[in-house]
Amino acid sequence: MRKRFLSAALAAAMAASLLTGCGSSAQQQAAGSTAEPAAESAAKPAAGEPAADSDKTIRIGVVCSMTGGSAIYGEGAQNAVTMAAEEINAGDSEYKVEIVNGGKVADDASDSKQAINAYNSLMKESPDAILGCFFSSVTLPIAEQAAKDNMLLLATGATNKDVTLKGPGIFRDCFIDPYQGKMAAQFAKEKGWSKAAVIYAKDDDYSNGLKDAFIENAEANGIEVVYTGECTTKDTDFSSQTSQVVAKGADFLFYPCFLDTVPLLVSAARDAGFEGAIMGGDGWDGADTSGFEDKFENCYFTNHYSSEDTAPAVANFVSKYTEKYGAESLNACAALYYDGVYMIAEAAKNGGGADSASLIKGMTGMEFTGVGGTFTLDENGDPEKSVAINTFEDGTVKWLMTLSPSGDKK
């Protein structure tokens, strides 16, 4: 998934260039372990202690965006993998975890060329697995190379459906774009909205994928799509499209674009007189609603998890993370990377070894329970998992419900 981070100064973000773009389970570990986290980073043994048995140590290279407008995601990823590694290494797991690169996440800078550079730098340290990236645009080239190298790659937020099709050793722990669009349509049907409008960024694969999936599933669920409007990732004026939404009599607007333009679209729709529901995908995560709080009433977005979810795995993760790092970088990216470390440790147990071939064997068809729920990886290495539906109250994100693949909700 390609996402963008909206700075506090909305005007500056509008002018800036837009980025191009998810044994013991994590739940069981989080709920059952009473050991204190290791004092030192899991990347190296504490001073004076011998190194862990190399046959039982999984060397993981991690990639995410650590600089630029998406650095908040990289911060969450760094904190999450450190915390997960500390928990695993302090527990009774047969396999231990070492984060290569001195425990640091390699920076893909939200750029495909830099992503390959980051991957190559990690490969020099002979990792057993690579975890990342968060954006599809930078994950796709890494997936192609990892497949050639027979290296296990566990993508996190990369929701483009083609990522895991690059090879049998490519997996992910996030849902894919078509599935996300399907669940948005399911939610619209659940709420009784019958006339939908769609505005999407024609120059963006993420937006196109969600748009196509939503329209297909909306029509299958008896929802009439009365208007489909185009924009680009660089647009800041949506008055023309939103006026058409109102004119066509829509009661639901689907805007599958990224967080930097979300306040502008929502504001334009309300100014045009649209009072219906507005919904987006996980690209809305982190949108800055400052100054637009009242306009975000009756707005929703799908996401990989909600920090307000009462499931034990979520509650434990949120409690530990906020105690160690605070809440500012607690986002879906952090949750996905946290689950990713536990999934790789689980793969070693399932496959009977810490080497890449054993990890790929152990990851194939894995059933896993973690912060992102319980799921089984399908034949492509993709999970069909529950989707959190978030809404807004006074501009603050609030968990509304979680929809399961079968349509059940909580």
Integer Cα distance of 24 and 369 in angstroms: 9
The residues that bridge with 401 in the sheet, in sequence order, are 389
Alpha-carbon separation of residue 126 from 25, 66, 79, 99, 149 (angstroms): 26, 22, 23, 11, 11
**For residue 133, cis peptide bond before it (omega within 30 degrees of 0):** yes
Q: How far apart are CA 408 and CA 15, in angstroms?
A: 42
Handedness of CA 72, 301, 199, 407 (dihedral sign): positive
**Residue 409 confidence (pLDDT):** 67
Those residues of the chain that have pLDDT short of 50 are 1-51
Give the pLDDT of residue 205.
84
6, 260 in Cβ contact below 8 A? yes
In this prediction, residue 223 carries a pLDDT of 98
Query: Edge to edge, what strands does the sheet with 396-403 contain?
Result: 224-231, 195-201, 252-254, 277-280, 299-303, 387-393, 396-403
- Tell me which amino acid residue 367 is: E
Rg (CA), the chain: 21
Beta carbons within 8 Å of 326's beta carbon, 6+ residues apart: none
Beta strands in 277-354 (DSSP E): 277-280, 299-303
Q: Strand ranges (DSSP E) for 239-359? A: 252-254, 277-280, 299-303
Neighbours of 11 (CB within 10 A): 9
Distance CA 404, CA 410 (A): 9
* Alpha carbon distance 355, 5 (integer Å): 36
What is the rounded CA–CA span in Å between residue 172 and residue 164? 7
Q: For residue 350, how far is the Cα from the chain centroid?
A: 25
According to the model, what pLDDT value does residue 284 have? 93
The residue ranges of DSSP E strands in 163-321, in sequence order, are: 170-172, 195-201, 224-231, 252-254, 277-280, 299-303
Contact 131, 156 (CB under 8 A): yes
